[in-house]
Each structure stands twice: as C-alpha cells, then as structure tokens.
Chain A
Amino acid sequence: METKVLTKGFELDHLFRIGVYLDQGGYRAVKKALTEWKPEQVLDEVKKANLRGRGGAGFPAGLKWSFVPQKTDKAKYLCVNADEGEPGTFKDRYIMAHDPHLLIEGIILAAYAVGIHTAYIYIRGEYELIARRLEGAIGDAYAKGYLGKNILGVGFDLDLYVHRGAGAYICGEETGLLESLEGKRGNPRLKPPFPASVGLFQSPTVINNVETLANVPFIVLNGAAWFLERGSPKDGGTRIFGVSGAVNKPGIYELPVGTSLREIIFDHAGGLKPGRTLKAVIPGGMSSPVFKADEVDVKMDCDCVAAAGSMLGSGAIIVIDDRTPILDVLSKVAKFYAHESCGQCTPCRLGTSWIHKIVKRMAAGKGRADDVDGLIRLSANIKGRTLCPLGDAAALPVLAIAKKFKAELQTALKGSA
C-alpha cells in the first residue's frame, strides 16, 4: 500500500502554485464538502477518522472541534499553530513550503465544519520565506474564489491571515499563541476556560497544528475508513516523522501511524552512521522522555508511546549514538528550557533556571556528588505543578535522562572530581 499521502506531491515542481495544485486535483475536497456535505458531516467524518493532533498533545481533532459551541453571539476563530518550536521538529515547514494549498484546503474544511469565518496562521518568525509563500498562496486562493466572501457560491465566507511570531517557544503553547496573536506578551493563560469556549479575543476558538489540518482534505475525499486503514484504529492516518541525529539519512518520512520506532530508524532512515551504535532516542520532540537503545521496539502511535513511558509528541525523532555523551544532550535540553520559560510561574521560571545552572556546572567539571539526585528532585518538583505544559516539557526529559543514564552521569561527575 502506498503510504505517502501528505508528502506525495512534494516531488512536483511548483506545487505551491495554485495552477499546479489544481492540476493535481486540488480543492476537490473543498468542492465536495461545501457543495455536497453539511458542516456536521465534515465534523462526523473527521471524528470517525480518529484524526489526532499532530502538534504534540495528540488530542482528537474532531472532538476538539465539537467543543466549540454551535450557537454563540461571538465570532469564532480558527488558529493554525505553525509555530513549530519543538526542537527536532521540521515537518510543518515542508508542508507549508511545498504544499501551502493543502493547508489552506484543510483550513477551509475545518472552518466550514465548525462555522468559522476568520482564520489565522500563526507561523514562527524564522519561516520568513514560507510565510511569504503562504501569503502568495492565500492571495491566489482568494483570486480563485476559495477564500473570501461566498466561497463556491454556497454562501460560506472565510478570511485567512498569516501572522508571524517573534521567536518564543511559549507562543507554540496554544494560549500563549492566542496572547501573542492578540498583540500581547506571549504568556500562557489559565485553563479552564479552554480556547474552545474562551479563546482568541474572548471568543470560541479552534487551534490546530498544520499537519493535522493537512490531513482533513484526504479524510473528506476518501472517507474515514480509508484513513483508519492507514494508521492505528484509535489513531488514524499517516504521520510525518522527522528523523534527525546520528542516522545515515536524516529527513522526513511519512509512514503509517503505528510503524515501529526501530523500523523508522534502521530501515527508513538508513540506520546509524558507520561504526556507531544506538545509545538513545528521543521519540517525539525534545520534551518527550528519552528511550534507551533497548526500548525502541515500540509502535509509534500516541497510545503505545505513552504506554512505553514517553510521548509521540510532534513525531520528531532524535537519534543519539554512543559517541555522544549524555551530559551534552542534557546540557542542550536544560539550556533550551531555561531560555524559553516565560517566567510567569515559580516552578518553571526557577526550576528550569536551577536545572540549567546545575547541568552547567556538571558540564564544566564542577559537579557535586548529589547533583544527579538534585536534578531528579528539581524536575519532579516542576512536573505537574506549572501553569502550562512548558513546565512538564522541561521536566520530563531531564527526569528521564537523569534516571535512565544516572550511571553515566555519575561517572562523568567522578571523572571531573
């Protein structure tokens, strides 16, 4: 079975041009849904397809949409999370750069299903070229009548805007994204209320990842059953895994949800570089707890990875070989989260900062005997006690590394002493 769905057209030249996209059968899903289906049918089909969020949390998309109140006096909004800030993740940029109309199509379908007339793509500031390409594609879609007033003559309106971020990890957290989009400092909001009821500009809001929405046109065209066939029963479709690190062929691999981690690393990504062996894998972006080399026989779907003690996250697989000291990995992790904590809540602001300080002194050869235990204690104190998921994202990888590689870290400490 052909596994490439989302990335199938990536080899074509100029797919981002609307002419090429239409030649490939583009916007057929929009035509089908808007002219033949009621909004509820789109929603039902996506629900049945068990499409789970590709951004990190893996929340079922259809369920998320259904939380938005049907009847409300307020405008409803769709925010596309294209901040792609999770270290190791580089899949959304491929979709937006190669196939921006696929995303736009997904946006139109989601908006139609939920009754939304204004959508924003919040894209990370560094993706300047892609942002421009998106704006070009949006302009073309307006010109062809797929965006704007009375789309395809069915009386459905949708406006779509691109908003560039300014380089903060926290703005990829959905409520931080909303604050930033409103023009404020990107601090997270207290939940509840959840964005589905009180989101952007105090109005009901859906926030979806780029890859999640890019799946929707295929679900509409081919049906939920087709989509489920391509993945796990409770986690449909394919996923774009971004493999980086010490493999022969780093890059993106679109594979069925549920493909084993070992298969991805050794078959698709070409295994480790010559003369090296596998030491550890971070399976779902830097915030997911690390697997040791003997833990990679895990099916890559949300539930299986969770059962194995980590998370599928954004599907970003970081492969670590035996030549890489785990302390180096820990240093990168600690530095990143200390730098990206927004500073609003105590455990995250100070916890990440202290973790970074301790790891720094370990790396400088000035570690203390109880530093590894200190790291475990500190990250356990952050976990579950912070305002937003950033705290957990910072604590979980440190906790996992410190526990699973305690011996190596202790040896490093002794070596320096």
Chain B
Amino acid sequence: MKITIDHLNVDVEGRKSVLDAARESGIYIPSLCDHPRLVPFSGCRLCVIEVRGRRGVVPACGTYAEDGMVVVTSSPSLQKMRLQILDLILSEHPSACLICREKETCEDHKSTIRKVGEVTGCVLCPNNGRCDLQTVVEHLKPDNLHFPALYRDQEIHRKDPFFERNENLCILCGRCVRICHEVRGASTLAFVNRGSQTVIGTALGRPLLDSGCQFCGACVDVCPTGALTEKTVKYETLPDEKKATICGFCSQGCELTIHVKQGRIQASVPAENGPVNRGQACVRGRFLVRDAVHHPRRVLKPLVRKNGRLEETGWDEALGLVARRFAATAPRDIAVFGSAQDPCEDLFILRKFAREGLKTPNLSGVEAFSAPARLLEAAAEQDIAPPLNGRISDIAKSRVILLFGNCPPMVGLEIHQAVKNGARLIVVGGKESPSIRCASAWLKIPGGKEFDLLTGLSKILAGDGHPQNGSGPKGEAEFKKHLQEFKIADAVASSGLPEEKLHRLVQLLEKRRPAAFLFNATFAEGPGGKANIVALWNLALQNQALFIPLGLESNVRGALEIAAHFRDGAPSAREIGRSILGGAFKALYVCGHLPRMERSPAEFMVVQDSYLGDAGEFADVILPATTFVESEGTFVNMEGRLQKFSPAIAPSGEARPGWRIICDLAGTMGLPGFAYEAASAVFEAMAKTVPAFRGLNGLERKAETFVQEPAKESRAFAVRTPSAEEAAPLYEHDPDRYKGLAMSRDIKSLNIVRGHK
C-alpha cells in the first residue's frame, strides 16, 4: 500500500503505524513512549500528526497506515503543538540544563560535580547522555520553559540489586510497565496513583526483590531518561565502543552488545535485532557478563601445583609439564572431559587432540548428560530420527504447551506470548519459575516418573480405534498393542492425578493444535529418563506436536555434533564420564566444571578453565582460558542456529582461547596436525569433516545458518523397551554456572536475587 508522508511517497507493507512507516523512510517524528516491541500507548502525544480527511490531530504511533493516506508530520502548527507538549513534559523532569545557554561549555566541567543526591538537571543526571528526552529537546529546540520544574521529591529506590529507580526523573511514558507486562510477563512494575500524582511502582511499594522481579533489565533498557539506571553504569561516561557478541551463558544464544570502556566491559545489553532474543535478555546476559568476565576468581596465568600449592608460572613451563606427564601415561589411562560452554572450535580441537594426538578413546563431556543427548541415545536404540532444529519462535504459535521441568528465559518469553495469544501451558515437575505464573496447571510429578502419565495420555488419545491400513507412522500397530496392554490405573497411581483429569488433558491436546512439547534434563536423566523420552516422542507423533529437548549450556548442540563425529566405536561418553568420577584414569584433561568430589579423581589432573573453580581444588595444572567475550568462535544454540562471535575485549591476563591452548600443547608434545593460525581455520577444518557443519561458513553472520540434520524418516513410533539405566543423574545442570564460576554463589548481586525468598 502507498501512503504519502510530507509529500514523500512511501510503500508500506503489512499493518504498520504511521510512526514506524515514517521511521523506515528516514522521517523523524519526536516520540517518547513508543517502542517497537510494545503496543502503542499514545501517552506522550509528541508524535501528533495531521491526516487528510480526519479532524484535528492524531498520534502517529497509534494510527495505522491505510492505502492512499496523506500525512503531514511537521507543519509549523504541529511543531508548535509539540513544543507546548514538551513544555509540559519538562515541567515534571529536572530540565534546566536542556535549555541552558552555557550547555556546550558546561560539557567540559561536568565530571567534577556529578554525584549528588538530587538531580536538578542533565549535568547531575546519572544517565549521562543516554536520554531520549535530550534527543527530542535537541530536535524541537525550545528556547524557554513556561513552567517551573516540579521536583517530585520521591526517595530513590536503591535497595534492589543491579539498578536504581528514581521517580523524580520519570516522565511516565510507561515503557517499563508495558515491557514488564507485555513482553516479559512479569508485571512487576505498574502505574500507581493517578493524574499528576502518578508514579511507577510495585505492589504496595515493596522492593523489586519481593515483587516477582526477574531482574531481566528490560525496563532499564527501554527507559528514555535516567529514571531507571544500572548501578554500575550510572555517572559513567559513554562507552568507547560497542561490540556484538553471543551470550555464552546458556543454550539460547542471545545476541548481546558489549559496551567497552578503556578495554573493560562497562555493560552488556541485549541487541535490538538479535535473531533469538530481539532486544531481550535475562539477568545473566544483561547484568552478569561484566562481573563474570572481570571476576576476581579469574585465572590470569597458568598455575602449577608445587608442594601442594598452586603457583603461577609461565605457559612454557605449564605446557611442558603437561606434555611430559601425558607422554609418560598410556593412552588408555588418559581421559578428556569437555565443557559444553566452549565454542565449537575449542570442542573440535579438544576431541581431535584426544583421538588423533593422545590416541585415547576416553572422551566425555557435559553434553553427554543433557536432554538432547538422552534423546539421541533413545533414538539410536529405537531407530527413530527426531528433528533437533525445532525453532524457539515456533513455540509462540502453539496453542497448547507441555513443559517438563524448567526452561531457559527466552523460551519462557515465547511461552508467555503463546499464552497471551490464548494457548494453555501445562507444566510437569520442575521448580518454581516465572513460567509457572502463566501455567494453567502445574503437575508436581517427580522428575523421571512421567512415563506412566504420558502412556496413559497416549492410550486415551488413541481411543479404541484400530490403526488405519498402513497410512499411519511406522510401528503404529505395535504401539497400539502396547497401549492396549497398558492400564490407565497405572497412570493414575504413579501420577497421582484422577482419571478424569487425564481425560481433560487429552481433550486439551485434541482441541488445541499445534502443540509444543518441551523437556529438560531432569525429565530425561535418571532411571526412567529414556522411557520418558520414548513415551513423550510417541505422544508427540500422535498429536503432531513440536518436540524440543531443552539443552542448557551454550554449545550443547555443537558439542553433541562434534562428539558424535569423534565417537567412532569408543565407549559411550556417559560411561566414560562415570569412570572419570570413579577415579578410573591416571591422567585427566578437564575443561570447565566437574561435579564436586571428595578426593582427586586422578593422579594427574589438568584443568582448562577461565576460573579457579571446584575442579581446581585437585588440579595439578590450571591453564587459563578466555571467556566468550574475549575470544572468536561459534556457538550452536538449542535450535541448531550457528552463531559466530568476535572478541569484544582483549583476553584477561595471559588467558588464551581453548583451541589455542590445545594446539600449543600438541605442539609442545611434538604432535603434527595442530598448526592452526586462527579460530576461522579451525572452523574450516571442522566444516570439512564434521557432517553437521559440512559446507557451512562460520564467518558469514548475515544470513541465518543452521547446522545440518540427517534427512531421515522421523515419522516412526518408538516401540522397543529402553535399555537398562544407571541410577542417579551424574551431572547437575545449573543455569547460573559459567565454567568454573558458580555465579549464584560467587557474584554477590545474583546471590541476593537467588537467595531471596
């Protein structure tokens, strides 16, 4: 459709506000309350425009483009109107500086007088130039204020971690309230009181910690003034540069923008156009990157144990020691344990080094204990090929969602969107989490015991009908026979739900399609895990549901693909993992975190980590690795999305990228085939050999890239009895862990949030 904005012909596609259409055509209309992710609010009234054929003025943010519309956005009368409205806005915001004639010369002297209790002008504002109101003032250029500024004189809320709330600077655009409600589903912030007494607050004025706040920081990011400011950034000058990276804390792969100041991280904010997170992040990505990367537990130089104590040393000495000890140990006595939080390049080199350099079959890693790994194991036994590249964004389109355990925050946002659009969420097991708030039901069945419930649902869903001749998925007849033998009474007994409720669940599944089934490691681990997966897979097949295993660590998926390539007849990674903890090997090379142990699991243990973590307690050598912010590489997120990232800052101390450490070690040991120049060269080698990466270009960031899946028939019921299982889960996945750093313990602010009940 075509519309005319200020004599400019503009093509508009789809339903779009005049404000958005103008923005895309490079026409600036002042606005303070509008935000691309939010429903129009039309509160500030600065975006008033004239539309031919309509009476008076209308807000551009809440007026949708119609074919043939003729719009005027900047006539002298409109500008005058905006100035009058701005005049009012500035009367509730300390603003003397905005029209001060000494403004420009004042810039030079700001830094000396900034930290004050009361903000009376921009010179004293904690947000220091990060201000949309300033932009509007610069555009409209008021030369005089007709009203004195009214200071609200409200106490600044300082008790909560991460950010402060200063209602005295608030212009009531409502962006924070709306993002908290519409996008995050937390509804922690709200308007309190009315008229000119209106402020933004919490229920009963309690601190955010008591008000269901998840500290995602979305409100801080949308605040147009200094009313919401990050504590560590307030009064700081603007960053020297902004660099893009992919968050390494979990499997969703949110794109972050790192604000760099004098070589250090000033802040990390979610990228507006991040393909997965679209401007959103969680408490970890938003507030903890800086603290984690510059943490005092960082290992800055190689450490070697001498007389029982770890002492700093040079790389040559450390690598020489490791090389000597490994060379003196038989290959079958050496084991390697990988992290799933390292980029693909590190994981590839680690496994290549183990198989081709050390020639040991003993390879394991965190990924082996993840939900997708368990799914792949079950799939191999059942001869089915479940798709793994399920899109997170498809969850929002579902009409019923079964969530087993807890989910990562961005998945939670998609679930919230689905529920807002009318979907029902049923949560099974898991801990108290934000998603529970939008759930229709929370079935507190202990993890690992869902098999009977799921099979019961399958039985009810299948009814008494006989399978149609050959048209159904493979194994349908056999599956139905299984169901006939199954007794609903068993489902009732083990789930503790009355039979009537099972029928209600099936009705939900039948009436509401498409469905999405999501499960985490708690559901998939333990004695009944594999049986659970099989039962859920069959139910998903019956109901044509989206089926997504929720891996947790940032590169679980990449690690699984790389590990599968190097398996080559070796014992399973799970078995090796158990043996490692059981002390079956003489020498260990561990990346990142190992579960806490009573005594050293090996005679000689090397830990490659960015932190002095739990594994370091027994380490003989610690090799300092870079964090994701300091290195170049690729992560594969939970939906198979390949995402490259570049270093935002230089490595701390003498830390080196993981792949480089191993290549240097291989070089010290005199092993051929490890002379890589850069991470990109490692990726190229990987793209030549590992099937899932074949033909992919790790450098290309423009197009969306996904790792490849085997094109196998996936429409088949799982009908074989799952193999016997070991007892307890081995590895406890903690979303707040980054390598050796337990953030909920080692970072005070997160400790406060997690510990607060």
Contacts and interface: CB of A to CB of B under 8 A. Distances in A.
Interface string B32-75: 00000000111111101000000011010010000000000000
Interface string A323-347: 0000000000000001111111111
Contacts of B197: 343
B743 interface: no
Contacts of B172: 343-344, 349
A145 B323 CA distance: 93
Nearest to B44: A346
A385 interface: yes
Contact of A347 (B40, B62, B88, B195): B88
A185 interface: yes
Most buried by B among A340, A349, A381: A349
Contacts of A381: 81, 84-85, 88
Contact of B190 (A185, A344, A347): A185
A185 B191 contact: yes
A302 B43 CA distance: 30
Interface residues of B, number: 30
A384 interface: yes
B43 to A, nearest CB: 5
B42 A352 contact: no
Contact of A340 (B62, B92, B195): B195
Contacts of A342: 194-195, 198
B43 A346 contact: yes
B126 to A, nearest CB: 24
Given A190-B62, A354-B147, A346 B196 contact: no
Contacts of A352: 195-196
B622 interface: no
Interface string B92-105: 10000000000000
A346 B85 contact: yes
A349 B42 contact: no
B41 A344 contact: yes
B193 interface: yes
A341 B42 contact: no
B91 A345 contact: no
Interface in A359-417: 381, 384-387
B89 A350 contact: yes
Nearest to B88: A350
Contacts of B46: 346
A344 B174 contact: yes
A168 interface: yes
A343 B193 contact: yes
Interface in A131-181: 168, 170
A199 interface: no
B193 to A, nearest CB: 7
Interface in B683-724: none
A260 interface: no
B172 to A, nearest CB: 6
A385 B196 contact: no
A248 interface: no
What interface size band does chain A fall in? 20 to 34
B195 A354 contact: no
Given A190-B40, A343-B191, A345-B45, A354 B57 contact: no
Contact of B196 (A170, A345, A350): A350
Nearest to A341: B195
Nearest to B46: A346
B185 to A, nearest CB: 15
Contact of A343 (B44, B85, B196): B196
A350 B57 CA distance: 19
A227 B203 CA distance: 51
B693 to A, nearest CB: 46
Given A346-B45, A385-B48, A354 B91 contact: yes
Interface string B184-220: 0000001101111110000000000000000000000
A351 interface: yes
A353 interface: yes
Contacts of A187: 191
A362 to B, nearest CB: 16
A354 B190 CA distance: 24
A381 B88 CA distance: 10
A353 B195 contact: yes
Interface in B1-49: 40-46, 48
B92 to A, nearest CB: 6
Contacts of B194: 168, 170, 340-343
A168 B62 CA distance: 25
Nearest to A383: B56
A338 B198 CA distance: 12
A341 B197 CA distance: 10
A339 B147 CA distance: 20
A168 B195 CA distance: 11
Nearest to B62: A190
A350 B148 CA distance: 12
Contacts of B48: 385
A16 to B, nearest CB: 34
Interface of B: 40-46, 48, 56-57, 59, 62, 81, 84-85, 88-89, 91-92, 147, 172, 174, 190-191, 193-198
24 contacts: A168-B194, A170-B194, A187-B191, A190-B40, A190-B42, A342-B194, A343-B191, A343-B194, A344-B43, A345-B42, A346-B45, A346-B46, A347-B85, A349-B172, A350-B88, A350-B89, A350-B196, A353-B196, A381-B84, A381-B85, A384-B56, A385-B48, A385-B56, A386-B45
Q: Which 7 A-B pairs have the closest CB atoms?
A: A343-B198, A353-B196, A350-B88, A341-B195, A190-B62, A384-B56, A381-B84
Given A350-B89, A381-B84, 13 more contacts: A170-B194, A185-B190, A185-B191, A190-B40, A340-B194, A342-B195, A346-B43, A349-B172, A351-B88, A352-B196, A381-B81, A385-B45, A385-B56
